[in-house]
Amino acid sequence: MRNVRKDLERILLQVQKPSRYTGGELGSIVKDPEKVDVRFAFCFPDVYEVGMSHLGMKILYALTNARENYWCERVFAPDQDMEQLMRERGIPLYGLESLDTIGAFDFIGFTLQYEMSFTAVLNMLDLAGLEVRSKDRHNLWPVVVAGGPCACNPEPIADFIDLFILGEGEEVNLELMDLYLVCKKEGCSKQEFLRRAARIEGIYVPSLYEVRYHPDGTIAGVTPQEGAPAVVHKRIIRELDKVFYPENFVVPFTQAVHDRAMVEVLRGCIRGCRFCQAGFIYRPFREKQADTINRNAHTLCDNTGYDEVSLTSLSTSDYSKLEPLLNEMLTWTEPDAVNIALPSLRVDNFSKELIDRVAAVRKSSLTFAPEAGTQRMRDVINKNVTEEEVLRTCRTAFEGGFTNVKLYFMLGLPTETDEDVEGIIHLAQKVVDLFYHLPDKPKGKGVSVNVSVACFVPKPFTPFEFEPQDTMENLRRKQKILLETVRSRKINVKYHDSPTSFLEAVLARGDRRLCPMVEYAWRSGSKLDGWNDYFRMERWEDAAEVCGIDLAFYANRTRSYEEIMPWDHLDYGVSKAFLIRENEWAHQDATTPHCRDHCAGCGANRLLGGACFG
Amino acid sequence: MAELFQTTVRVFWKKEGRIKYISHLDINRCMARALKRSKLPVWHTLGFNPHIYTTFALPLALGYESECESVDFRLTEQVPMQEVVDRLNAVFPEGMTAYHAAPAVQKPEAICWADYQIIQEFDQVPAEQAAQAFFNWCARPELPVLKKTKKGERTVDVKPHFSVQEMKAQDHVLHLSVRAAAGASLNINPTLVLDTFAAETGIAADWQRVVRTAILDGAFHDFR
Ligand code: SF4
């Protein structure tokens, strides 16, 4: 293990924002390397500002470090200028706490938040001085592991990662490290450790599964080897209220994307929007007690000095005791001059007085996500929002002085017609008209309705996992329809790039035959693909051609209900029968009520060993 | 205004180690959060979004360490000065250490000079040679240096504003003690002079460490 402190001194003043590379932030945990048994490099495959905003990393960092003999450090992807200097000077990737190089750590763990970060994972392994392929790394350590939402279909990077951690990491991470420590002491081989690890619930060792294919390219079967389980079940925390929560965060010097205290109020989602992967893979729905959340928030603010705390979850307005919680929190946040932020708030459920006291509404613009322009299309995706609700929320906002509204939509949804596309603009127009017909609209100001349109990407473990993605040609055609439908200068349309979405669709539902393509794309320069400035579609097209991959096979093909998906041997709670049922309903324009209203029998309650509610 | 000035506390602190890469702007935010954590009765700005108000007498360049930084803020209640120091040290990040607190005496405009200790390492040339060259370069009747400011570039003759107090060469390491003009009206960073020397002569250090050791008023007394 080598310390790079002195090497860094020679380059840090030459790079943008050197504070991203120095560590030493408040709350960062430094231990004596002589006194720890396991060293864990927690790698976020994106730049510091993005990674430091991520709650899961903060939780697992604090959790691991709470064990005296384990030391978890943070590692982020260096930006281009820093990477170039590191490569020129032969400085390997290092942990921010110790400034020791991570190549000889016990664990290197990645969190996979989005598919476009896959090449950054390879690049970081390479910067650490390691072989990128699992089979070329023979030593027991470092064990290269990965978790996070994209681990639900990890096949496109199965060749590079030794094992994947499925589901919530609070318990299983420590079990894995405990097992490793035993194996290290016994002098086990890497192979033996992986065999034993595969017996821990939630651990998926891809090299222990053999995949066979039909001549048409679809999967014929997946066979476990050496005693690995046929199906790997994800892990969840059953009693969310009792789960470990950090009392302190690492407080960055430079501003992160989300730079504030965060407390988690619930996991899972009751809504069941059919396009939303997070809504399914984090099931079942579990809440924390209001007291616990309030205590977590107060402790964190005291220890970090943050003047803002956010209540985070997939849908915070579904928290059953939100109003009492806010009232309790306001008793200390107001005297301490701390703002409460509610990132995913439905404004209409609350009293005006309470809303005025929380920060979310102090912003000058309001965002709302109808996701689709017509009621039929919203029924298909099970987004249970009506036009009246959209307009009512906008009316409340306008009456409260807002003149800026941002509406989020998706393009290329299953069964979408040109009429549905035009419907997006028609809805935006109704919002504009609403503004001008209001008797008490804000005086002397115009309205601005910003329509933001993303391309739909079908994801595993959603009812749309069977669906083809619209071709790029068709998406471009639909983007043109959008622009041509606009009649008012008060409406601004912004859409996301379709090549990125296309590649995302390929990787999201890819199988392990994509591994060589991912490696090729990385070797030809892909590394921070999440950033438009660095992304080049040509590199991926070249890689696909060289590796003999038909990208459309993955992105634009309809899967039959019988087809074996690359992720079918992984279990995230929701059953395939449920996904098929939901898919059929979608094609009949039929909606499914949310979980609190009526259990749709998705199967996730098996993980709880009982019903989700009551 | 007089009253406001009297109630202002000035805390002196050190900035050492890797925290030298934290910019002045980021230190500003870090200090506000530290004050918040300390639970000292610090005055907040009024209005819609109340926040802690701090001022720094003399911002430190990125990459410099310091033994003599100061920060000012107002207390709304009496607190023993030693307690201010202790409570800040309990919540400061690695590399920041408070060592003295007192009611502010002088205004930042009183600052005229600052002293620096500089260590330079040369991989290629012996330090003796670098020292000799620098001595000769400084001995010229004028020392024109290009200074970049927000308003643009201008050439300043730093001869009256910069002096080498001590110079010691040993193997590949050069030690310098330097005094340079400091303050809002004219601030000369010693590395600006050393960088100009390096650009003109090709003798550039491969590694250097700069520590601000004192901030002085017009009478060469420590800024209080
Ligand atoms: S089991 Fe029923 S209530 Fe629980 S998450 Fe699934 S659909 Fe919702």
Is A253 close to B206, i.e. CB distance below 8 A?
no
CATH code for the domain in which residue A281 is found? 3.30.750.210
Determine the Cα–Cα distance for residues A109 and A132; give it in Å rounded to an integer.
14
Chain A, 213 to 232: residues with Cβ < 8 Å from chain B are: none
Residues having CB within 6 Å of any atom of ligand 1: A 283-285, 595, 599-602, 604-605, 612
DSSP string, B125-182: S-HHHHHHHHHHHHTSS--EEEEEETTEEEEEE-GGGEEEEEEEEETTEEEEEEEEE-
pLDDT at position B1, please?
36
Cβ atoms of residues A192 and A172 within 8 Å: no
Reported as a pLDDT band with limits 50, 70 and 90, residue B213 is very high
Residues A244 and A215 in one domain: no
Q: Which residue has the higher pLDDT, A442 or A127?
A: A127
pTM for the model: 0.93
Determine the Cα–Cα distance for residues A600 and A591; give it in Å rounded to an integer.
11
Quote the DSSP letter at residue B44: B
**Which region, left, alpha or beta, applies to residue A267 given φ > 0 means left and ψ of -120 to 50 means alpha?**
beta
Query: Is residue A568, in this structure, part of any structural domain at all?
Result: no
Question: Which residue among A571, A599, A607 has the greatest number of ligand 1 atoms within 8 angstroms of its CB, and so is best to mutate?
Answer: A599
Residue A30 CB neighbours (<10 A): 14
Determine the Cα–Cα distance for residues B156 and B188; give it in Å rounded to an integer.
10
pLDDT at position A360, please?
47
A224 has a pLDDT exceeding 80: yes
Residue A600 CB neighbours (<10 A): 17
Query: Is residue A597, in this structure, part of any structural domain at all?
Result: no
Cβ atoms of residues B82 and B177 within 8 Å: no
% of chain B surpassing 90 pLDDT: 80
Residues A35 and A142 in one domain: yes
A503 has a pLDDT exceeding 80: yes
CATH code for the domain in which residue B198 is found? 3.30.2350.10
**Backbone phi, psi, residue A529, to 5°:** -65, -20
Residues A172 and A248 in one domain: no
A585 has a pLDDT exceeding 50: yes
Query: Is residue B158, in this structure, part of any structural domain at all?
Result: yes
pLDDT at position A351, please?
58
Residue in chain A closest to B63 (alpha carbons) equals A13
In 3D space, the residue among A448, A263, A269 whose CA is nearest the CA of residue A343 turns out to be A263
What are A391-404's pLDDT values in tens digits? 988 887 788 777 88
What are A266-316's pLDDT values in tens digits? 999 999 999 999 999 999 999 999 999 999 999 999 999 998 999 999 888
Query: Is residue A190, in this structure, part of any structural domain at all?
Result: yes
Which contacts of A531-536 are long-range, i.e. CB under 8 A and separated by 24 or more positions? A532/A497, A532/A500, A534/A80, A535/A116, A535/A499, A535/A500
Query: Is residue A462, in this structure, part of any structural domain at all?
Result: no
For residues B123-137, average pLDDT:
92
For residues A417-431, average pLDDT:
96
CA contacts within 13 A on the Cβ side of A191: 7
Q: Does B33 touch chain A (CB under 8 A)?
A: yes
B134 has a pLDDT exceeding 70: yes
Cβ atoms of residues A369 and A407 within 8 Å: yes
pLDDT at position A39, please?
98
What are A474-501's pLDDT values in tens digits? 999 999 999 999 999 999 999 887 789 9
Enter the tokens of residue B157.
């003759």
What are A323-374's pLDDT values in tens digits? 899 999 999 998 888 888 877 555 555 555 666 666 544 455 677 889 999 9
Domain count, chain A: 2
ipTM above 0.90?
no
Determine the Cα–Cα distance for residues A511 and A101; give it in Å rounded to an integer.
32
pLDDT at position A355, please?
60
Is A26 close to B63, i.e. CB distance below 8 A?
no
Last residue of a domain, one of A216, A233, A250: A233
Residues A199 and A179 in one domain: yes
3-state secondary structure at position A300: helix
User: Domain limits at B38?
Assistant: 2-105
Which contacts of A501-504 are long-range, i.e. CB under 8 A and separated by 24 or more positions? A501/A454, A501/A455, A501/A456, A501/A457, A501/A469, A501/A475, A502/A455, A502/A469, A502/A472, A502/A551, A502/A555, A503/A115, A503/A116, A503/A529, A503/A537, A503/A540, A503/A551, A504/A114, A504/A115, A504/A116, A504/A457
CATH code for the domain in which residue B99 is found? 3.30.70.580
Chain A nearest-CA distance from B19, in A, is 7
Chain B nearest-CA distance from A254, in A, is 6
**Which region, left, alpha or beta, applies to residue A21 given φ > 0 means left and ψ of -120 to 50 means alpha?**
alpha
C-alpha distances in angstroms, B1 versus A306, B7, B8?
Answer: 30, 10, 11
A243 has a pLDDT exceeding 50: yes
Determine the Cα–Cα distance for residues A478 and A481; give it in Å rounded to an integer.
5
3-state secondary structure at position B206: coil
Q: Does B168 touch chain A (CB under 8 A)?
A: no
pLDDT at position A344, please?
59
pLDDT at position A279, please?
95
* CA–CA–CA angle A366, A368, A370 (5° rounding): 160
Reported as a pLDDT band with limits 50, 70 and 90, residue A318 is confident
**What's chain A's average pLDDT?**
93
Range list of H helices, A400-463: 418-437
* Chain B residues close to A337, C-beta within 8 Å: 44, 50-51
Distance A601 CA to ligand 1 centre (A): 6
Preceding peptide of A206 cis, ω within 30° = no
A41 has a pLDDT exceeding 70: yes
Q: Which of B34, B36, B93 sits opposite A307 (nearest CB)?
A: B36
In 3D space, the residue among A368, A326, A374, A378 whose CA is nearest the CA of residue A347 turns out to be A368
What are B148-206's pLDDT values in tens digits? 877 788 898 999 999 999 999 998 999 999 999 999 889 999 999 999 999 999 999 99
Last residue of a domain, one of B105, B132, B149: B105
Residues B120 and B194 in one domain: yes
Residue to test with chain B: of A16, A17, A19, A309, most B Cβ within 10 A: A19
Query: Is residue B59, in this structure, part of any structural domain at all?
Result: yes
User: Domain limits at A196?
Assistant: 5-233
What is the helix (H) or strand (E) element at residue A586, kind and residue range? helix A576-587
Query: Is residue A564, in this structure, part of any structural domain at all?
Result: no
Range of weakest confidence among A36-40, A292-296, A404-408, B114-118: A404-408
Last residue of a domain, one of B105, B126, B153: B105
Last residue of a domain, one of A362, A389, A404: A362
Residues B153 and B208 in one domain: yes
pLDDT at position B4, please?
45
Last residue of a domain, one of B74, B105, B136: B105
